[in-house]
A = this chain, B = another copy of it.
Amino acid sequence: MNLRAFNKQIYLSLGAFVTIVVVWLAGFLPSAQTTPANPLPSWNNGATKQAIIKFVTRVTTANSPDFVPVEDRIATFDNDGTLWAEQPVVEGLFVLEKIKAMVIAAPSLREQQPYKAVLMGDVDYFRRKGEVAITELAMLTHGNVTQTQFEVETRRFFDTATYPKLNLPVTQIGYKPMRELLDYLRANGFQTWICSGGGIDFMRQISEPLYGIPPQQAIGSAGKEEFIEKEGKFVIWKLPELSRINDKEGKPIGIDLHIGKRPIFAAGNERSGGDIAMLTYSHQQQPSFQLLIDHDDGDREFAYREPDNASLNAAAANGWHVVSIKNDWRTVFSHVNPHMRASDSQA
């Protein structure tokens, strides 16, 4: 081999070696901005998917006029009907199960309201009493308990409960396309939050394994609490009183309390108009993206509509993006949830 050939070979080796080092080191680089070729595989390749990708590309492209710095990439998601099924609402199953357990522990409750109405399936009782009775029920089952004990009860529920109509563990009723969307946003530097009418302590037990959202990024309805001494130990004691309801106009307030920034991406669903205020609040920020899920797939999920159509009307008036489950989602449920680990988290 002459010197020139040797020289060339060394440089080729050098090039190959540097390439290997660079590729190897690149594996340690922060993953933001590195999005797989097809980031939302469970979404059909329609207008909604394209609009999501276009928006994310717009706000994450450096030097673009719509570039949003990482610290302002806040995304908020409703939970029931947006991240998982809500026919029935999962927390309602927990309430039912706990009422039964309370009656077994103290049988005299069987003749008292609202226990009696729950056990008899007396829907009329709750229709008559209205929202007050629902709140009372929630507080009875979420209060008069230490935070630690409530966590134990909640985890036990998530480890064992079955979702009736789908006949699946409750931990397997999350929407696969929405989990992909959460992952996609996080891969692009977004901080993802739950903002739901559900109980904050209840959701926190599954937000990480189901959605990759840590407990401190859950916003929900909350009861009053006290820090008091019980049997020689200070505990967080959950009172059977409501502190705040994180629904409708309560959602922007909850976002302001917990985040202090407007979300540039917000997702909700139609059923009760519960997400209109949150989407309105997000929409005031520009650039921003609003997503509203329309439950129009009775075959694969559930088909239902808001009586007054307020959410879909607001979406049409404001240009929010409507997800048709039937047309936009290739797959609805994952049925197997590799992320679930409720039982082994924070024992």
- State how many angstroms separate the Cβ of A189 from the closest Cβ of chain B: 13
Residue A226 is within 8 A (CB to CB) of chain B in the complex: yes
CA distance A215 to B201 in the complex (A): 22
Say whether chain A's binding surface is mostly helix, strand, loop, or mixed. helix
> Interface range on chain A: under 10, 10 to 19, 20 to 34, or 35 or more?
35 or more
Q: Are A216 and B258 in contact (CB under 8 A)?
A: yes
CA distance A226 to B277 in the complex (A): 11
Q: Are B200 and A260 in contact (CB under 8 A)?
A: yes
Residue A284 is within 8 A (CB to CB) of chain B in the complex: yes
- A28-B30, A215-B261 as given contacts; A227 in contact with B253, CB under 8 Å: yes
- State how many angstroms separate the Cβ of A264 from the closest Cβ of chain B: 12
CA distance A191 to B346 in the complex (A): 17
Chain B proximity mask over A260-289: 1 for CB below 8 Å, otherwise 0: 110000000000000001001100100000
Chain B proximity mask over A52-96: 1 for CB below 8 Å, otherwise 0: 000000000000000000011000000000000000000000000
Q: Are B226 and A253 in contact (CB under 8 A)?
A: yes
- Of A10-18, A100-108, A116-124, the one touching chain B: A10-18
Complex partner residue of A261 from B191, B216, B258, CB under 8 angstroms: B216
Complex partner residue of A277 from B18, B26, B200, B234, CB under 8 angstroms: B234
Q: Could you write out 26 A-B pairs with CB less than 8 Å apart? A: A3-B6, A17-B18, A18-B18, A18-B21, A21-B21, A22-B25, A25-B29, A28-B30, A29-B29, A71-B208, A71-B214, A72-B346, A200-B257, A200-B260, A201-B260, A216-B260, A218-B260, A225-B253, A225-B256, A226-B253, A227-B253, A228-B249, A234-B277, A234-B280, A234-B281, A234-B284
Chain B proximity mask over A190-230: 1 for CB below 8 Å, otherwise 0: 01000000001100100010000011101000100111100
- State how many angstroms separate the Cβ of A295 from the closest Cβ of chain B: 25
A25: B residues at CB distance < 8 A: 21-22, 25-26, 29
CA distance A151 to B28 in the complex (A): 38
A218: B residues at CB distance < 8 A: 260
- State how many angstroms separate the Cβ of A227 from the closest Cβ of chain B: 4
Which single residue of chain B is at the shortest CB-CB distance from A204? B260
Q: Are A259 and B225 in contact (CB under 8 A)?
A: no
